[in-house]
Structure 1
Amino acid sequence: MTEVKGWHVFSAFALAFGVIISVNLTLAYNAVRTFPGLEVKNSYVASQSFDVDRNAQLALGWKVAAHLEGDELVLAIVQDGQAINPEIEDAIFGRATMVKADQIPEFTFDGTVYRAPVVADAGNWNLRLRMRADDGTLFQQRVIVRAGL
Structure 2
Amino acid sequence: MSSQQAPRRKPFTGKHMTLILVGGFGIVFGVNFLMAGLATSTFGGIVVENSYVASQHFNRWLDEAAKEKALGWKVDVERRADGHLAAALSGVPAYPTVKAVARHPLGRKDDIALTFDKHADGTYVSDKALPEGRWILRFDIEADGKSWRGEDQVEGLEVMGQPVP
TM range (shorter): 0.7 to 0.9
1:53 to 2:46 alignment = no
Larger radius of gyration: 2
Alignment of 1:83-94 (within 5 A): 84-88=94-98, 90-94=99-103
Aligned residues: 142
Residue 27 of structure 1 is matched in structure 2 by: 38
Match of 1:72 among 84, 98, 101: 84
Task: Quote how far apart the aligned CAs of 1:72 are.
Answer: 1.6
Moved beyond 6 Å, runs of 4+:
none
Alignment of 1:120-139 (within 5 A): 120-121=132-133, 124-135=134-145, 137-139=146-148
Q: Any unmatched runs of 5+ in structure 2? A: 1-9, 158-162
TM-score norm. by structure 1 comes to: 0.74
Between the aligned partners of 1:63 and 1:35, the Cα distance in structure 2 is 27
Match of 2:112 among 103, 110, 115: 103
Task: Quote how far apart the aligned CAs of 1:86 are.
Answer: 1.4
1:63 to 2:74 alignment = yes
Match of 2:123 among 113, 120, 127: 113
Between the aligned partners of 1:94 and 1:54, the Cα distance in structure 2 is 20
Between the aligned partners of 2:123 and 2:95, the Cα distance in structure 1 is 8
Residue 47 of structure 2 is matched in structure 1 by: 37
Q: Any unmatched runs of 5+ in structure 1? A: none
Aligned CA RMSD, in angstroms, stands at: 3.1
Task: Quote how far apart the aligned CAs of 1:94 are.
Answer: 2.6
Residue 154 of structure 2 is matched in structure 1 by: 145
Amino acid in structure 1 at the alignment position of 2:20: V
Between the aligned partners of 1:100 and 1:51, the Cα distance in structure 2 is 29
CA shift in 2, pair 1:21/1:78, >3 Å: same
Deviations 1:45-81 (A, max 9, x none): 333224542343234331211111121211111227x
TM-score norm. by structure 2 comes to: 0.68
Moved more, 10-19 or 50-59: 50-59
Between the aligned partners of 2:29 and 2:64, the Cα distance in structure 1 is 50
Between the aligned partners of 1:40 and 1:109, the Cα distance in structure 2 is 38
Amino acid in structure 2 at the alignment position of 1:120: E
Overall identity of the aligned pairs, in % = 16
